[in-house]
Amino acid sequence: MLHRIRQFFAPDKKSLASPDSDLLALFSVPVATSSGVSVGPSSALQVPAVACAVRAISEAAATLDVKVMRRDGETEAEVADHPVAGLLRDRVNDWTPGAEFIRDIVASALLYDQGGLAWVNRVGGRPVELIAYDPAHLKAQRHEDGSGAYRYQLNGREIPASEVIHLRSPFGRSPVTLARESIGLSITLEKHAAKLFGSGARPAGMVSFKERMTPDAIQKAAAAFRAMLASEKTGNTAFMDAGADYKQLVLSSVDSQFAELVSFQILQIARAFRVPPQMLYDLTRATWSNGEQMGREFLVYTLEPWLRALEGALRLVLFSDEEYPTHRVHFERDDLTRADLGTRATAYSTLISARVVNANEVRQWEGLAPYDGGDAFANPNTGSNQAGAAAPQADGGRPLGGAA
């Protein structure tokens, strides 16, 4: 009796000999969809909307400046000479710049279920090299104990988690896997469109005869019809005999909705990646007002969660146990939130006039060198702050701050 109860409550064990769709998706193996198309990372990138979404997120993360920050009590300052900062800013190894490393690891997390993986090579306890191996060489698999921990293998050799940077997608599934059916339908629609308009799946017209004709007679009639229309002059009139009737084939109302279905699939893919449609160059409903709002939504709801996850994945592995409580990796978001020059100039002028910031602080934001006198909190729009103006006088007639 006890044995039957254990069998009833025992979890199902999935075998690699007969894997189901979930097990195949775990290893990012292309899985056939309801449309009959197998969808995997490589085939998904052939859909322009998928490739655009992956590039929008991964390349935006790669363009940001990377800093190492150290917290000391209530204050936090940049540690510009930290080895981790040098790796991520300059080059992570002899053949990969830091920006490409960030782009590739984020792109892998968007495409593969196991996420973006990179091996950390340490010398003397310090990271000196980061290598983003292909998913076939560096693999991650959840531990059997159900704790959520991962086991890692590099070229068949098990390595500790402290040597692996692991950026994971939500739910343990990549957006490509979660939107597999939508991507498969997009591939099917594009193939159908290529056949329809490229290889002549639908002829331009049809000629019918009242009497039955032999294949040889049909070929002669077709040749005569083409010869009649083959002329340097356009708009020639076609004359047919033997009771021939010509009908031009046009797209039906169902075919005219084909473009709408393609646009809907772009929206489905945008939802899967949480990317505003305008980032995929679908400007159907974009206006001057909501376009700027969707740009902010991309920064807040799409890019920011990936940046937070990436910062945490890098911090978890690249810092020692002594540095971990006080050090962190930070991606500077200001470059993505910068307004145009005119808007920035207006904001800077208002802040300086209100004496919230000084001129040298603004020049530092713009990457310019400070100048003498720029540290003063003064309003340049008042007469007392203009060059050559008399010093402000006290009620007694003597200069403020002067001797009696």
What average pLDDT does the segment 135-156 reach?
Answer: 90
Q: What is the pLDDT of residues 175-211, one digit of tens each?
A: 999 999 999 988 888 887 777 666 555 566 677 777 7
Listed in sequence order, the residues at least 6 apart from 98 whose beta carbon sits closer than 8 Å to its beta carbon are: 66, 87, 88, 89, 90, 91, 92
Q: What is the H or E stretch that residue 130 is in? A: strand 126-131
> What DSSP character marks residue 101?
H
pLDDT tens readout for residues 318-374: 999 999 999 999 999 876 666 567 777 888 888 888 889 998 988 887 878 889 988
Count of C-beta atoms within a 10 Å radius of residue 297: 17
Write out pLDDT tens, residues 211-231. 777 788 778 777 777 776 665
Residue 109 has pLDDT above 50, yes or no: yes
Token pair of 397 as six digits = 């007639």
Domain ranges of the chain: 19-201+253-337, 203-250, 338-387
pLDDT digits (tens, 9 = 90+) for 40-89: 999 999 999 999 999 999 999 999 999 999 999 888 999 999 999 999 99
Residue 48: Cβ within 10 Å count: 14
For residue 396, what is the DSSP state?
Answer: T
Among residues 145, 74, 63, the alpha carbon closest in space to that of 102 is found at: 63
Q: Is 33 helix (H, G, I), strand (E, B) or coil?
A: coil
pLDDT band at 159 (very low <50, low <70, confident <90, very high): very high
Identify whether the C-beta of residue 67 lies closer than 8 Å to the C-beta of residue 330: yes
